[in-house]
């Protein structure tokens, strides 16, 4: 799964493209390692839009996880 950030805003402030690209790379690295550990997870489509989330794929029946360690989040 690869995440593409079309735009990144904080409130009404747009984030510059180079920072958006770094955030996208960090997020993809985190998701690649984290999601790969979940047996039974298959993501065909995942999209976040204003007031909507679209998901197509399969989810495991149960999944347990601990919160990330400090500094482990992008």
Q: What is the DSSP string of 10-52?
A: ETTEEPPHHHHHHHHHHHHHHHHHHHTTSTT-EEEEEEEETTE
Name the 3-class secondary structure at 7: coil
- Those residues whose C-beta lies under 8 Å from the C-beta of residue 54, and which sit 6 or more positions away, are 45, 46, 47
**Helix H or strand E segment including 58:** strand 52-58
pLDDT tens digits for the chain (74 residues)?
Answer: 778 888 888 888 888 888 889 988 988 888 888 888 888 888 888 888 878 889 899 988 877 777 777 877 65
pTM of structure: 0.56
Token pair for 29: 């690295």
58 forms bridges with which residues in the sheet? Answer: 42
């Amino acid at each position: 799964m690869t995440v593409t950030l079309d735009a990144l805003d904080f409130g009404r402030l747009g984030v510059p493209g180079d920072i958006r690209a770094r955030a996208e790379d960090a997020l993809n690295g985190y998701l690649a390692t984290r999601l790969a550990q979940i047996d039974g997870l298959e993501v065909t489509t995942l999209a976040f839009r204003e007031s909507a989330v679209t998901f197509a794929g399969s989810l495991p029946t149960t999944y347990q996880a601990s919160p990330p360690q400090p500094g482990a989040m992008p």
